[in-house]
Amino acid sequence: MNDVPRPCDSHIELVNFKYPLPRLKTALQQQRSIKIVAIGSSSTAGVDSVLPFPPRLEMLLRQKYPYRMIDVVNRGIGGQEAPDELLRFQSDVFDEEPVLVIWQIGTNAVFHNLDRAAVADAIEVGLRWRFGYKADLVLMDLQYTKAMVDKLDNARDMVSRIAKAADKAEVNVFKRFALMERWVDDHIPIGELQDGDLHTSDWATNCITGALVEAIMRAVAPEGTT
């Protein structure tokens, strides 16, 4: 029996950020205590026995930056989508005074057949609000699991809407959907990427977090380094 875990390929060419993270970069240079807020739905909150990405992100960033006290505050609520999350931005995001916000969105718009245009509008509102608060922002788009593949046209449309909103606001997107789809193209069975039909497996969640950390580290690296 082979108990060696499948290696992770972060496909940095897919997930590399388009824009820097200046506030996080400055905080890593000048502050000991650094706060990040992750807001979203069940991918953020966590489900069943799979540890979600926020505590994994905290652990990995503390390993990468051992002389910093990095806290990742988990503000995920299962089943919510961007319009619901906007209602708690003040209390769950701005009042925490983070230097980086990771906003996981889009999945429930597809899964629950919501009005995707209305969800995209809510995302744009949130992006505008963000300019009133001094934090970097990363959007995290959909997971590539059976529940999304079963509604693939709608899923791709939501991914596109998120990308357009981010480009308009010059905000980074962590392209979770594209990364997971590449893994399937690389002949990793989709069943290994999911826990049930909707949520990501332990392996996929771990590898997604690792790719996110790599993208963050590249975005805050000193000039001239990669």
Burial class (CB in 10 A: 0-12, 13-18, 19+), 189: exposed
d(CA 112, CA 78): 12
Cα-based angle 35, 173, 177 (whole degrees, multiple of 5): 115
Interval 32-58: pLDDT, tens: 999 999 999 999 999 888 999 999 999
Q: pLDDT tens digit string along 137-152? A: 999 999 999 999 999 9
Q: Give the torsion sign (CA, 96, 101, 102, 107).
A: positive
What is the widest separation between alpha-carbon atoms in the chain? 55
Domain range list for the chain: 12-217
Give the fold, CATH level 3, of 12-217: Rossmann fold (3.40.50)
User: Please, which pLDDT band fits residue 130 given cuts at 50, 70 and 90?
Assistant: confident
